[in-house]
Structure 1
Amino acid sequence: MFATVFVLLYLGHLLADYPFQTDHQAAHKADPGRSGWRANLTHAATHIAACGLTLTAGATALGVTVSAPAALAALLWIGSTHAFIDRRWPVRWWMTRMRQTAWAAHGGAAHVDQTAHILTLALAALALAL
Protein backbone atom coordinates (compact mmCIF):
# COMPACT_ATOMS: atom_id res chain seq x y z
CA MET A 1 0.00 0.00 0.00
CA PHE A 2 2.94 2.35 0.63
CA ALA A 3 3.91 2.46 -3.06
CA THR A 4 0.34 3.11 -4.18
CA VAL A 5 -0.22 5.92 -1.70
CA PHE A 6 3.19 7.43 -2.43
CA VAL A 7 2.52 7.53 -6.19
CA LEU A 8 -0.89 9.13 -5.62
CA LEU A 9 0.60 11.80 -3.34
CA TYR A 10 3.50 12.38 -5.73
CA LEU A 11 1.07 12.89 -8.61
CA GLY A 12 -0.79 15.48 -6.51
CA HIS A 13 2.54 17.14 -5.69
CA LEU A 14 3.53 17.37 -9.34
CA LEU A 15 0.16 18.84 -10.28
CA ALA A 16 0.35 21.45 -7.50
CA ASP A 17 3.99 22.38 -8.11
CA TYR A 18 3.83 22.70 -11.88
CA PRO A 19 0.51 23.10 -13.78
CA PHE A 20 -1.44 24.50 -10.80
CA GLN A 21 1.20 26.86 -9.40
CA THR A 22 0.71 30.42 -10.61
CA ASP A 23 3.57 32.64 -11.75
CA HIS A 24 2.77 34.92 -8.81
CA GLN A 25 3.06 32.08 -6.30
CA ALA A 26 6.34 30.88 -7.79
CA ALA A 27 7.84 34.37 -7.77
CA HIS A 28 6.62 35.51 -4.35
CA LYS A 29 6.14 32.49 -2.04
CA ALA A 30 9.45 33.19 -0.28
CA ASP A 31 9.00 36.96 -0.03
CA PRO A 32 8.90 38.56 3.41
CA GLY A 33 5.70 39.98 4.78
CA ARG A 34 2.03 39.42 4.25
CA SER A 35 2.09 39.11 0.43
CA GLY A 36 4.85 36.51 0.56
CA TRP A 37 3.02 34.45 3.15
CA ARG A 38 -0.23 34.77 1.18
CA ALA A 39 1.45 33.42 -1.97
CA ASN A 40 3.16 30.68 0.07
CA LEU A 41 0.05 29.54 1.93
CA THR A 42 -2.11 29.65 -1.19
CA HIS A 43 0.42 27.40 -2.91
CA ALA A 44 0.50 25.08 0.12
CA ALA A 45 -3.32 24.91 0.06
CA THR A 46 -3.11 23.92 -3.60
CA HIS A 47 -0.89 21.02 -2.51
CA ILE A 48 -3.39 19.94 0.10
CA ALA A 49 -6.22 20.06 -2.43
CA ALA A 50 -4.31 18.33 -5.24
CA CYS A 51 -2.93 15.59 -2.99
CA GLY A 52 -6.35 15.14 -1.40
CA LEU A 53 -7.94 14.79 -4.81
CA THR A 54 -5.40 12.31 -6.17
CA LEU A 55 -5.42 10.31 -2.95
CA THR A 56 -9.22 10.12 -2.84
CA ALA A 57 -9.69 9.38 -6.54
CA GLY A 58 -6.83 6.91 -6.70
CA ALA A 59 -7.74 5.08 -3.51
CA THR A 60 -11.35 4.80 -4.69
CA ALA A 61 -10.38 3.56 -8.14
CA LEU A 62 -7.86 1.08 -6.77
CA GLY A 63 -9.95 -0.08 -3.82
CA VAL A 64 -7.40 1.09 -1.26
CA THR A 65 -8.76 1.95 2.18
CA VAL A 66 -7.22 4.95 3.93
CA SER A 67 -8.41 6.25 7.29
CA ALA A 68 -10.02 9.69 6.88
CA PRO A 69 -8.39 11.16 10.04
CA ALA A 70 -4.99 9.77 8.99
CA ALA A 71 -5.44 11.16 5.48
CA LEU A 72 -6.35 14.58 6.89
CA ALA A 73 -3.27 14.52 9.14
CA ALA A 74 -1.10 13.49 6.18
CA LEU A 75 -2.50 16.30 4.03
CA LEU A 76 -1.89 18.86 6.77
CA TRP A 77 1.67 17.52 7.09
CA ILE A 78 2.18 17.86 3.34
CA GLY A 79 0.81 21.41 3.27
CA SER A 80 2.74 22.64 6.28
CA THR A 81 6.06 21.09 5.29
CA HIS A 82 5.64 22.34 1.74
CA ALA A 83 5.08 25.88 3.02
CA PHE A 84 8.16 25.62 5.24
CA ILE A 85 10.45 24.27 2.51
CA ASP A 86 9.18 26.84 -0.01
CA ARG A 87 10.26 29.76 2.16
CA ARG A 88 13.63 28.89 0.52
CA TRP A 89 15.84 29.62 3.52
CA PRO A 90 15.68 25.98 4.72
CA VAL A 91 17.16 24.81 1.41
CA ARG A 92 19.83 27.54 1.50
CA TRP A 93 20.62 26.60 5.10
CA TRP A 94 20.99 22.91 4.19
CA MET A 95 23.14 23.59 1.14
CA THR A 96 25.43 25.91 3.10
CA ARG A 97 25.87 23.32 5.87
CA MET A 98 26.55 20.59 3.33
CA ARG A 99 29.10 22.80 1.52
CA GLN A 100 27.01 22.89 -1.66
CA THR A 101 27.16 26.65 -2.30
CA ALA A 102 28.66 26.29 -5.80
CA TRP A 103 25.96 23.81 -6.75
CA ALA A 104 23.31 26.10 -5.24
CA ALA A 105 24.61 28.95 -7.41
CA HIS A 106 24.18 26.78 -10.51
CA GLY A 107 20.62 25.52 -10.04
CA GLY A 108 21.10 22.86 -7.39
CA ALA A 109 18.63 24.43 -4.97
CA ALA A 110 15.68 23.30 -7.09
CA HIS A 111 16.87 19.69 -6.81
CA VAL A 112 17.36 19.89 -3.04
CA ASP A 113 13.92 21.55 -2.75
CA GLN A 114 12.23 18.73 -4.66
CA THR A 115 14.13 16.08 -2.70
CA ALA A 116 12.88 17.60 0.55
CA HIS A 117 9.31 17.62 -0.75
CA ILE A 118 9.55 14.01 -1.90
CA LEU A 119 10.91 12.97 1.50
CA THR A 120 7.90 14.54 3.22
CA LEU A 121 5.57 12.76 0.78
CA ALA A 122 7.30 9.46 1.51
CA LEU A 123 6.84 9.99 5.25
CA ALA A 124 3.16 10.81 4.72
CA ALA A 125 2.71 7.69 2.57
CA LEU A 126 4.50 5.57 5.16
CA ALA A 127 2.23 6.88 7.92
CA LEU A 128 -0.86 6.15 5.82
CA ALA A 129 0.35 2.64 5.01
CA LEU A 130 0.81 1.65 8.65
Structure 2
Amino acid sequence: MFAEIAFLLYLGHLLADYPFQTDHQAAHKAGCGRTGWAANITHAATHVLTCTLLLAIGSVLLGWQLPLLPAVVAVLWIGGTHGFIDRRWPVAAWMRIARQSGWAAHGGAAHVDQTAHVLALTLAALFLAA
Protein backbone atom coordinates (compact mmCIF):
# COMPACT_ATOMS: atom_id res chain seq x y z
CA MET A 1 0.00 0.00 0.00
CA PHE A 2 2.96 2.34 0.62
CA ALA A 3 3.94 2.42 -3.05
CA GLU A 4 0.43 3.30 -4.20
CA ILE A 5 0.01 6.03 -1.59
CA ALA A 6 3.46 7.46 -2.32
CA PHE A 7 2.77 7.47 -6.06
CA LEU A 8 -0.57 9.24 -5.67
CA LEU A 9 0.90 11.82 -3.29
CA TYR A 10 3.77 12.45 -5.71
CA LEU A 11 1.32 12.81 -8.58
CA GLY A 12 -0.68 15.25 -6.45
CA HIS A 13 2.51 17.19 -5.77
CA LEU A 14 3.38 17.42 -9.45
CA LEU A 15 -0.15 18.52 -10.38
CA ALA A 16 -0.27 21.17 -7.65
CA ASP A 17 3.27 22.44 -8.32
CA TYR A 18 3.02 22.70 -12.09
CA PRO A 19 -0.33 22.74 -13.93
CA PHE A 20 -2.38 23.94 -10.93
CA GLN A 21 0.05 26.63 -9.69
CA THR A 22 -0.75 30.11 -10.98
CA ASP A 23 1.88 32.52 -12.23
CA HIS A 24 0.96 34.81 -9.32
CA GLN A 25 1.57 32.05 -6.77
CA ALA A 26 4.90 31.11 -8.34
CA ALA A 27 6.08 34.72 -8.39
CA HIS A 28 4.93 35.73 -4.91
CA LYS A 29 4.78 32.66 -2.62
CA ALA A 30 8.12 33.48 -1.01
CA GLY A 31 7.40 37.18 -0.65
CA CYS A 32 6.82 39.14 2.50
CA GLY A 33 3.56 40.73 3.47
CA ARG A 34 -0.02 39.87 2.70
CA THR A 35 0.52 39.16 -0.99
CA GLY A 36 3.33 36.68 -0.33
CA TRP A 37 1.55 34.86 2.46
CA ALA A 38 -1.71 34.69 0.49
CA ALA A 39 0.09 33.23 -2.53
CA ASN A 40 1.93 30.74 -0.31
CA ILE A 41 -1.17 29.63 1.58
CA THR A 42 -3.33 29.24 -1.53
CA HIS A 43 -0.56 27.25 -3.21
CA ALA A 44 -0.19 25.00 -0.14
CA ALA A 45 -3.98 24.60 -0.03
CA THR A 46 -3.87 23.43 -3.65
CA HIS A 47 -1.48 20.68 -2.53
CA VAL A 48 -3.80 19.70 0.33
CA LEU A 49 -6.86 19.57 -1.93
CA THR A 50 -5.12 17.72 -4.76
CA CYS A 51 -3.56 15.10 -2.46
CA THR A 52 -6.85 14.70 -0.57
CA LEU A 53 -8.70 14.08 -3.82
CA LEU A 54 -6.16 11.53 -5.03
CA LEU A 55 -6.17 9.70 -1.69
CA ALA A 56 -9.98 9.57 -1.81
CA ILE A 57 -9.90 8.21 -5.36
CA GLY A 58 -7.26 5.65 -4.32
CA SER A 59 -9.40 4.62 -1.35
CA VAL A 60 -12.45 4.04 -3.52
CA LEU A 61 -10.75 2.34 -6.46
CA LEU A 62 -8.20 0.30 -4.51
CA GLY A 63 -10.37 -0.52 -1.50
CA TRP A 64 -8.20 1.20 1.09
CA GLN A 65 -9.51 1.73 4.58
CA LEU A 66 -7.48 4.82 5.44
CA PRO A 67 -8.42 6.13 8.88
CA LEU A 68 -9.76 9.69 8.61
CA LEU A 69 -7.63 11.37 11.29
CA PRO A 70 -4.25 10.05 10.04
CA ALA A 71 -5.24 10.97 6.47
CA VAL A 72 -6.11 14.51 7.57
CA VAL A 73 -2.82 14.77 9.49
CA ALA A 74 -0.89 13.53 6.43
CA VAL A 75 -2.39 16.04 3.99
CA LEU A 76 -2.02 18.90 6.49
CA TRP A 77 1.62 17.86 6.91
CA ILE A 78 2.02 18.01 3.14
CA GLY A 79 0.46 21.47 2.97
CA GLY A 80 2.42 22.80 5.93
CA THR A 81 5.78 21.48 4.83
CA HIS A 82 5.16 22.59 1.27
CA GLY A 83 4.37 26.12 2.37
CA PHE A 84 7.45 26.20 4.62
CA ILE A 85 9.82 24.91 1.94
CA ASP A 86 8.38 27.33 -0.63
CA ARG A 87 9.27 30.35 1.51
CA ARG A 88 12.67 29.67 -0.14
CA TRP A 89 14.85 30.67 2.83
CA PRO A 90 14.93 27.08 4.19
CA VAL A 91 16.42 25.82 0.91
CA ALA A 92 18.87 28.74 0.77
CA ALA A 93 19.91 28.08 4.38
CA TRP A 94 20.42 24.37 3.68
CA MET A 95 22.55 25.14 0.65
CA ARG A 96 24.68 27.58 2.68
CA ILE A 97 25.17 25.03 5.48
CA ALA A 98 25.97 22.28 2.97
CA ARG A 99 28.44 24.58 1.19
CA GLN A 100 26.55 24.42 -2.10
CA SER A 101 26.72 28.10 -3.05
CA GLY A 102 28.16 27.30 -6.49
CA TRP A 103 25.39 24.84 -7.21
CA ALA A 104 22.80 27.27 -5.86
CA ALA A 105 24.06 29.93 -8.26
CA HIS A 106 23.56 27.52 -11.18
CA GLY A 107 19.99 26.33 -10.56
CA GLY A 108 20.59 23.80 -7.78
CA ALA A 109 18.00 25.33 -5.45
CA ALA A 110 15.14 23.97 -7.56
CA HIS A 111 16.51 20.43 -7.15
CA VAL A 112 16.99 20.81 -3.40
CA ASP A 113 13.46 22.27 -3.18
CA GLN A 114 11.92 19.31 -5.00
CA THR A 115 13.94 16.81 -2.96
CA ALA A 116 12.66 18.39 0.26
CA HIS A 117 9.08 18.14 -1.02
CA VAL A 118 9.52 14.49 -2.00
CA LEU A 119 10.98 13.74 1.44
CA ALA A 120 7.90 15.28 3.10
CA LEU A 121 5.59 13.28 0.79
CA THR A 122 7.48 10.08 1.52
CA LEU A 123 7.15 10.63 5.27
CA ALA A 124 3.41 11.21 4.82
CA ALA A 125 3.09 8.01 2.76
CA LEU A 126 5.03 6.01 5.37
CA PHE A 127 2.79 7.43 8.12
CA LEU A 128 -0.37 6.43 6.21
CA ALA A 129 0.89 3.00 5.25
CA ALA A 130 2.09 2.11 8.76
Q: TM-score, normalised by structure 1?
A: 0.98
How far apart, CA to CA, are the structure 2 residues paired with 1:41 and 1:9? 19
For 1:26, give the aligned amino acid.
A
* Pair 1:124-2:124 in alignment: yes
Could you give the per-residue CA deviations for residues 62-85 of structure 1, whole angstroms, max 9, x where no partner exists?
Answer: 112211111000011000000000
How far apart, CA to CA, are the structure 1 residues paired with 2:62 and 2:115? 27
Q: Which runs of 5+ in 1 are unaligned?
A: none
Match of 1:12 in 2: 12
The Cα RMSD (Å) is: 0.6
For 1:18, give the aligned amino acid.
Y
Equivalenced residues, count: 130
Could you give the per-residue CA deviations for residues 43-68 of structure 1, whole angstroms, max 9, x where no partner exists?
Answer: 00000000001111122111122111
The 3-state SS of whatever aligns with 2:107 is helix
Match of 2:105 in 1: 105
How far apart, CA to CA, are the structure 2 residues paired with 1:66 and 1:11? 18
Q: Which runs of 5+ in 2 are unaligned?
A: none
Match of 2:70 in 1: 70
Identity %: 67
Match of 1:91 in 2: 91
Could you give the per-residue CA deviations for residues 12-64 of structure 1, whole angstroms, max 9, x where no partner exists?
Answer: 11100000000000000000111100000000000000000111112211112
For 1:59, give the aligned amino acid.
S
Match of 1:50 in 2: 50
How far apart, CA to CA, are the structure 2 residues paired with 1:62 and 1:97? 43
- Runs of 4+ residues over 6 Å off in structure 1: none
For 2:64, give the aligned amino acid.
V
How far apart, CA to CA, are the structure 1 residues paired with 2:10 and 2:25? 20
For 1:76, give the aligned amino acid.
L
How far apart, CA to CA, are the structure 1 residues paired with 2:30 and 2:17? 14
